[in-house]
Amino acid sequence: MNKGSEVCLVLGSNSFAGATIVNSLLNQGYRVLGVSRSNQSNPTSLIYRNNQQIHNFEFSEININTSLNELISICESYQPRIICDFAGQGMVAESWAQPAQWYQTNLVSKLKFLEYLKDKDWLTKYIRASTPEVYGSNLEPVTENARLNPSSPYAVTHASMDLTLLAYFKQYGFPVTIGRFSNFYGPGQQMYRLIPRVIMSILSQKRMPLHGGGSSERSFLFSHDISNSYSGLILRGRSGEVYNFSGSDCFTIKRVVDLIADKFNLALSDVVDFSPDRPGKDQKYLMTAEKAKNELGWEQTFSLDLGISETIRWTEEYFKQLEFLPSDYLHKP
């Protein structure tokens, strides 16, 4: 990749969403620079690896907490016009065990990077992936103007960074656009996430725990619809604005597991063991995506049923490579 070419920088490019967007950007003709704190040790989950435009991608292994100067150096060299930010500590329940690490990564280190970026005239869009957890549990669909009500260190750090970025827009005109997304899923997702974990458990003939009886409710978005959202955010997303992206329906976790089990002609009781719920878990996230539909032309195109079928097909195809991956989240400080 030539340094003189226009570059889109993807922070957290080895995450599921990050890798999905790298693949989408390559398909759209962008030159893409990926940065992640983990190496590329699991190429099966990095769906962009088979992209015919992979020659337009370059990867750097950088931890924003310990090697921020390296990230700044790369930005100085490439001067990316667009930055897509997926970097950060995930996982709600685990954030209670060592909350300082979530604050350090998701807020303090990001703030230092923001201080560097705030006056760079070569940056025209900074697109941040945020989460519905910042709204807290809600029984009715919320708009982008809803009060933030986070209930875990994970959610608090995301809400804090969202507000910080919007404050920098007001103060400096920083070109941030924030997308808040329902639960991602699809080919390439980490095996410890709900949908791939259920599929892998069934294919491996193993049982899995169903926390709290699976009563909490979530909306889900297939990876194809995440890619489409970023096309809209890049082309039409306005600086200083927040856009919700959500599926049209909300499902209990139990219903999702049951739907997957049914595709294998199994009953729910064949697949799960009921276990206590995890700490800090909100009951329901529900957002309205009308703003994204009206301003960005975005629409959900994959139903949960169709998206799960596609994910099962991919998982069966790559099962031999995937069965050695951890089914539980392994925390990295």
CA atoms within 13 A on the CB side of 249: 11
Domain 7-184+220-245 class, CATH top level: alpha beta
Q: For residue 242, how many other CB atoms are within 10 A of its CB?
A: 22
- The pLDDT tens digits of the residues spanning 244-253 come to 999 888 899 9
Query: DSSP 3-state assignment of 283?
Result: coil
- The pLDDT tens digits of the residues spanning 284-299 come to 778 999 999 999 999 9
pLDDT at 3: 39
CATH topology of domain 191-218+249-284+303-322: UDP-galactose 4-epimerase; domain 1 (3.90.25)
Average pLDDT over residues 13-34: 95
* CA–CA dist 7, 69 (Å, integer): 19
Banded pLDDT at 41 (limits 50, 70, 90): low
Banded pLDDT at 282 (limits 50, 70, 90): low
Give domain limits for the chain.
Answer: 7-184+220-245, 191-218+249-284+303-322
Q: Report the chain's mean pLDDT, rounded to a whole number.
A: 91
* CA–CA dist 276, 227 (Å, integer): 35
Percent of the chain at pLDDT > 90 equals 76
Banded pLDDT at 138 (limits 50, 70, 90): confident
Q: Which residue has the higher pLDDT, 139 or 84?
A: 84
* CA–CA dist 322, 41 (Å, integer): 12
Banded pLDDT at 215 (limits 50, 70, 90): confident
Structure tokens at 35: 């940065």
Pairing of β 217-218 and β 251-252: antiparallel
